[in-house]
Structure formats: structure tokens, C-alpha cells
Amino acid sequence: MAIWLLEVRAGVYVGTYSRKVREYLWEQVEAGLENGNAVMAWQASTEAGFEFVTLGKNRRMPAEFDGATLVSFHPLDSQEQD
């Protein structure tokens, strides 16, 4: 990822690329993610001004509400509460 994007913090990459390059980068993330989680956000002509996708287990997941993508919080697993 560091070849294409600027790593501004450990595991946090930033850059502006075309849709084709963004999709290629996401394929690389999917192939190497294993048990982790990832999110990719980009500028878009939506009410929020951006769109995003997520991958892997995480309490925060995208949820569609009246045409807007918001973030929904899933409950903690009983093992995560300990």
C-alpha cells in the first residue's frame, strides 16, 4: 500500500486516485486482510460528500437509511465485554 498511498499513521493510508486504481487497491486489501478489518472512503457526489466500504469484523458497519449511508453499531459479543 505504501507504494501507492501516503501512510500518515501506522496502517492508515491516504491518497486520491481514480475509481479503477481505488478498486485495484481494495482488491489488494481483500486479498491480504486475513483476520483484520479495513475501511476505504473516497470523495463522492452524495449528501455526505463521500462514500465508503468496510471489510472484516468490526462493531461499526455501514447502514443505509433513506438513501444516506450512516454507521451502525453492533452490540458487543459477550466475550468482548469481559
* CATH-assigned architecture of domain 6-81: 2-Layer Sandwich (3.30)
- CA dihedral 58→64→69→74, nearest 10 degrees, is -20
Q: Which residues contact 47 (CB under 8 A, 6 or more apart)?
A: 67, 68
**Rg, Å, the chain Cα set:** 15
Q: How confident is the model at residue 78 (pLDDT cuts 50, 70, 90)?
A: low
Domain-wise residue ranges, the chain: 6-81
Which grid coordinates are listed for 19? 475509481
- Residue 71 predicted with pLDDT over 80: yes
Check residue 48 and give its pLDDT.
83
Check residue 80 and give its pLDDT.
56
Q: What is the pLDDT of residues 5-57, one digit of tens each?
A: 999 999 899 999 999 999 999 999 999 999 988 999 999 998 888 888 888 88
